Amino acid sequence: MPHESSNPLKTLVVGAAAGLFSDGMVHPLDTIRARAQVAQKGSHSSIDIIKKLHFKSYYKGFTAVAIGTVPGHAFYFCGYEASKNFANNMLNNIENNNPLVHLTAGLVADICGGLVWCPMEVVKQRVQIHAHETPISVSKQILAKDGIFGFFRGYWAGIFTYAPYVMLYFALYERFKYIARQKLNVEAHQVPFKYYIASCCGASFIAAGVTTPVDVIRTRIQTTTGNYTNIIDGARTILKEESPMTFLRGIGPRVAWMGFGTATTLIFYEYFSRHWDNIVN
């Protein structure tokens, strides 16, 4: 992610560990988001959902997350670092301040991570919204009904959702860091950690809010609560049968989930990166 590293093993291990710790902290927010987005009638506000959930319900689907997030984040971070370093070398972008590099690297990272995250999301979200399902029972149902490709239901919708988020997030995040570095007149490694956190949260909150509408459609496609053939069909159906405000369902939990999730991922990533030598020795 933001930490420069030429060690692929370090990037893989540190990224996987950071993702696991982060997802464990913010999973309850994701559960609230998922339930809010698939609700089509009755109470669907975050407060209503919180009142109905028991403590254990907040962590429904986390088994699928724990299994998928380790290889998913490993692919994600490696994809980002490798493509960013390649693009910077090709463009001779020594200052690492070209937004096109970060947009492209973010896209590559999302495509790589999505190969693992999509199956994880499909299973996780069905467990989250159905009280008596487990990851194993859901996986069996998917295999029986749709085969292996059922786990990749909504893959392109997921890329369409998360790629803009990741691309926008990295472009904003790297820009905010660059501004802080210029303002403080210091090298990248000398920027106080609080500026990293502020940059991360600001970029993530903005990107998460902007991409909420397509996330609503993606969630309904993956959970089969919306009979949509694709993103465009989903948007048309929602506008016809519901209202434009439906596109903002779960925006609060989503912004909180992705904002805090990205921030905590950064914290753990930086922490594990800086203590890598002590950990492996």
Binning pLDDT at 50, 70 and 90, where does residue 1 land? very low
User: pLDDT tens, 11-22?
Assistant: 888 888 888 888
Contact 59, 31 (CB under 8 A): yes
User: pLDDT tens, 204-243?
Assistant: 889 889 888 888 887 787 776 667 777 888 888 888 888 8
User: pLDDT tens, 30-43?
Assistant: 888 777 777 665 55
Place of tokens 């950064």: 266
pTM over 0.85: no
Neighbours of 90 (CB within 10 A): 9
Residue 176 has, within 13 A of its CA and on its CB side, a CA count of 21
d(CA 267, CA 142): 36
Going by C-alpha positions, the residue among 258, 207, 226 that lies closest to residue 102 is: 207
Contact 53, 82 (CB under 8 A): no
* pLDDT (0 to 100) of residue 103: 93
d(CA 52, CA 59): 14
Question: Average pLDDT of 80-89?
Answer: 89
Length of the chain: 281
Going by C-alpha positions, the residue among 78, 34, 72, 80 that lies closest to residue 53 is: 34
